[in-house]
Amino acid sequence: MTVIDANRMHEIEARYPEYFHRSFRQRFGGLMIVIATLLYGLYAVWFFDLPKLFAEAHWERVGIYLSQWVSYDVQPEFRIQDDGTIAVRYPRFSPLGDNPHPDWVVDNPDGSITVAVSGAARVVTISKSETIVTAHGVSVPVDVSSGAPKVVGPVPAWMTVYDDNVLADLGFAGDVSISVDRVKIRKRFLGWANFVFDTQSSFFDKPVGEVISLIVSGPRIKPDQSNLSLAFDDIWNNSEWQHGDVWTKLFQTIVMAFLGTLLGALAAFPLAFMAARNITPNRLLNQILKRFFDFLRSVDMLIWALFLTRAFGPGPLAGSGAIFLTETGTLGKLYSEGLENIDNKPREGIQSTGAQTVLVHRYGIMPQIVPVIVSQTLYQWESNVRGATIIGAVGAGGIGLKLWEAMRTNANWENVAYMVILILIVVFLFDAASNALRHRLMGSRTH
């Protein structure tokens, strides 16, 4: 066992003071960061009043909106006539077409009508004097023969009684609204109705095999147009899903992102050389350009889009201009910082040979800065595909405007889901293409 005397201890302490005489920050810095983070979290909870927000939030709407993303509903209305007969009416633009006769609506011999809302588990039987709702294992009759609908017997939890109607909530399957002279049923189906052909198409409601047969070898539906061309026109001009308009707007978004990023990169590239202190030794010019980049970056792309839509009107030109201004500032800053961090020895070596400035930049600077330019430009291009969607919502064109219009109606959530999925696919594809192109241009792909 080695014994260290006092002199040896003092010598070791003097040689390694960072271990024996640590400052307060070194000893308690980590703990202080943890405490500060916790205090900030508590402050944020108090400042935003999160407990109240969570308590008052309408969480039930989440399930409603999500179900509407992946489903559609049909809303038949059953009106009780003065003579006791029941007339069935469907909305004008019903997913079932102009003359629907669904198999889940059955006319009974006694004049009543049975509607299978969800198989045999949720059934509604409508007659002139009462409506019987069967759900959750019980059958609840509602008397409609008097001045107001009246539930016969105990009212279940899934049924709500109002002054002039009774509402039965059948969960995801739909709901039933019962009044004295009419019964309105909302029946929900999984999937997207008429996604390929709308109700006005010649191919509507035909089996897949029959459609393929008509396209391949069937007689022409329209004498002056082939069935293949007719099918494409019906899909492209689908009035419910508007595939043609959606895809056109999506292409506009891609063009906006590409054009705005390209023009921003072209403008930022020469300005970055003038903003870099080690390339252009003019402090006044350096500072003016850097503050110019800061100004362009500090105004958000969405704000630029608002300004430009007022100047040029709504459309993709305003969107491309907003991306161009923002990217000029962002890429100008990134390029100039990259230039200021290059190794000056290759440039000085080429300068010593008496080469012209253009050649010095070409061989002494560009090989070092190209990886930064390529990487940052491709990343910004990929990011601007997402950004172009957002600025479209304020009138800058593209699919963002289409998405905002669908959301404002609060009734076309399946169309919203369709466009969101398209945007996600485009973003994933551009992310993969950007990564592949960046690796190839920078020579980092493994073989």
- The mean pLDDT of 163-175, rounded to a whole number, is 90
In tens, the pLDDT along 227-284 reads: 999 999 999 999 889 999 999 999 999 999 999 999 999 999 999 999 988 888 888 9
Q: Give, in degrees to the nearest 5, the angle at Cα 12 between 11 and 17.
A: 110
DSSP code per residue over 163-200: SS-EEEE-GGGEEEEE-SSEEEEEEEEES-TTSSS-TT
Q: What is the pLDDT of residue 40?
A: 94
Q: Give the confidence band of 311 by pLDDT, cuts at 50, 70, 90.
A: confident
Average pLDDT over residues 339-345: 81
pLDDT number for residue 445 = 46
Cα-based distances in Å from 370 to 290, 328, 348? 21, 17, 19
Which range (6-20, 231-245, 346-360, 393-407) has the least confidence? 6-20
**How many H-runs (helices) and E-runs (strands) does the chain carry?**
16, 13
User: Quick one: pLDDT at residue 444?
Assistant: 53
The CA–CA distances, whole Å, from 378 to 196, 326, 331, 374 equal 35, 15, 11, 6
**Residue 145 in 3-state DSSP?**
coil
Q: pTM for this structure?
A: 0.79
Of 2-11, 119-128, 277-286, the one with minimum mean pLDDT is 2-11
Question: What pLDDT score was predicted for residue 266?
Answer: 94
| CA–CA–CA angle 406, 409, 411 (5° rounding) | 90
Q: Other CB atoms closer than 10 Å to residue 279's CB: what's the count?
A: 20
Mean pLDDT in residue range 153-158: 91
Of the two residues 349 and 107, the one the predictor is more confident about is: 107
Cα first-last separation, the chain: 57
User: Which residue shows structure tokens 């007022």?
Assistant: 310
Amino acid at 423: I
pLDDT confidence bin for 446, thresholds 50/70/90: very low
* Mean pLDDT (the chain, rounded): 86
What number is the average pLDDT over the span 407-420? 84
Q: Is the pLDDT of residue 369 over 90?
A: no
Residues 172-197: pLDDT tens digits? Answer: 889 999 998 899 999 999 989 899 99
Higher pLDDT, 285 or 435: 285
Model confidence at 141, pLDDT cuts 50, 70, 90, reads very high
Per-residue confidence at 2, pLDDT binned at 50, 70, 90?
low
The predicted pLDDT at position 411 comes to 72
Phi, psi of 8 (to 5 degrees): -65, -40
Alpha helices in 109-171 (DSSP H): none
